[in-house]
């Protein structure tokens, strides 16, 4: 029999290892260490985002502004007819979405909110996800919150959906058997194929991504990561995505919105 004094160091070592593993995994980023992936960009990309006459996302914002004022649908009504000047009425709105929609009994994101308005107030056809019009209008609305802190609503009805979003974010998926959290919570700041792994905060959506050569929504970005993990994507507008958006916005609470952001 091994004497007691020879066994205990092993037990100690094992406990330390286990504790270490438990601590390193699923650790949410401390609030004061969070940063937008803007900080990881090159000087040129930053300059592109900072100047409204060189930021290609602003082209879509101009389209969105025109849409805001255009009468649409059987009701022959424009967004501006109800909401007036977007500069005042839409300020801070994007910072609060996704929000709970009582008629559906679940949260909706900004794009879905726009389509609900189109259906109920304008009697118009919904915009397709990632269509030029949807991206333009959501970019225009979201830009009114540029510079505002992300402020997820403190709504108890959202809690279970946010928890689901968190569990999707932290669960392993796909053929590579990875979770979002393994990159964006545990390994941010390190390199992945020449790129810096970001913290994954949704501070600038819809973003103009140079790789896409176009504007794209947060859901497009989430799909992008899921394809990278060789996981099956959800369809656009799926509740899973909205729950994830909800969690991501909560995770980025207090951070400044930069829509329309430019990303490499």
Partner 1 sequence: MARTLINVPPKAKRGEIITIKTLISHIMETGFRHSNVGVRIPRDIIDTFVCTYNGEEIFRATLYPAIAANPFITFHTVATESGTIAFKWTGDKGFSATESVKITVE
Query: Nearest approach, Cβ of 183 to partner 1 (angstroms)?
Result: 27
Cα separation, 226 vs 234, in Å, equals: 9
CA proximity to 261, closest of 43, 34, 46, 35: 46
> Is residue 63 a contact point for partner 1 (CB under 8 A)?
yes
Query: Nearest approach, Cβ of 232 to partner 1 (angstroms)?
Result: 19
CA proximity to 213, closest of 46, 59, 3: 59
Would you say 45 or 89 has its CB closer to partner 1? 45
Active site residue 183: no
> Is residue 56 a contact point for partner 1 (CB under 8 A)?
yes
Q: Which two tokens stand for residue 137?
A: 């209008």
Would you say 54 or 125 has its CB closer to partner 1? 54
What interhelical angle do 132-143 and 110-120 show, nearest 10?
Answer: 110
Query: Nearest approach, Cβ of 206 to partner 1 (angstroms)?
Result: 14
> Is residue 213 a contact point for partner 1 (CB under 8 A)?
yes
Region near partner 1 per CB under 8 A, out of 17-25, 31-39, 123-131, 207-215: 207-215
> Is residue 50 a contact point for partner 1 (CB under 8 A)?
no
Q: Which two tokens stand for residue 191?
A: 């390199």
Beta strands across the sheet bearing 207-209: 214-216, 207-209, 262-263
> Is residue 44 a contact point for partner 1 (CB under 8 A)?
no
> Is residue 58 a contact point for partner 1 (CB under 8 A)?
yes
CA proximity to 263, closest of 207, 222, 216: 207
Q: 114-145 b/e with 16+ CB inside 10 Å = b?
A: bbebbeebbebebbebbeebbbbbbbbbbbbb
> Is residue 131 a contact point for partner 1 (CB under 8 A)?
no
Would you say 119 or 227 has its CB closer to partner 1? 227
Q: What is the binding site for partner 1 (CB under 8 A)?
A: 48, 51-54, 56, 58-60, 62-63, 210, 213-214
Residues designated catalytic:
225
């Amino acid at each position: 029999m091994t004497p007691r004094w020879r066994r205990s160091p092993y037990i100690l070592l094992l406990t330390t290892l286990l504790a270490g593993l438990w601590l390193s995994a699923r650790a949410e980023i401390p609030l004061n260490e969070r940063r937008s992936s803007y900080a990881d960009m090159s000087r040129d990309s930053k300059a592109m985002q900072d100047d409204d006459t060189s930021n290609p996302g602003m082209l879509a914002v101009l389209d969105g502004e025109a849409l805001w004022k255009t009468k649409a649908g059987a009701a022959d009504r424009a967004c501006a007819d109800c909401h007036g000047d977007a500069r005042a009425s839409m300020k801070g709105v994007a910072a609060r979405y996704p929000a709970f929609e009582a008629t559906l009994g679940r949260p909706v994101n900004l794009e879905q909110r726009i389509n609900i308005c189109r259906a109920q107030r304008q009697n118009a056809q919904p915009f397709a996800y990632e269509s030029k019009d949807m991206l333009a209008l959501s970019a225009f609305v979201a830009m009114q919150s540029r510079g505002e802190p992300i402020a997820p609503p403190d709504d108890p009805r959202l809690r279970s959906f946010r928890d689901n979003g968190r569990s999707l974010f932290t669960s392993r998926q796909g053929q590579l058997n990875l979770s979002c959290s393994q990159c964006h919570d545990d390994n941010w700041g390190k390199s992945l194929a020449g790129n810096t792994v970001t913290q994954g905060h949704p501070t600038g959506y819809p973003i103009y991504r140079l790789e896409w050569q176009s504007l794209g929504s947060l859901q497009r970005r989430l799909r992008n990561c899921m394809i990278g993990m060789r996981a099956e994507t959800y369809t656009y507008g799926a509740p899973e995505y909205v729950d994830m958006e909800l969690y991501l916005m909560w995770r980025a609470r207090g951070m400044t919105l930069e829509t329309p952001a430019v990303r490499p």
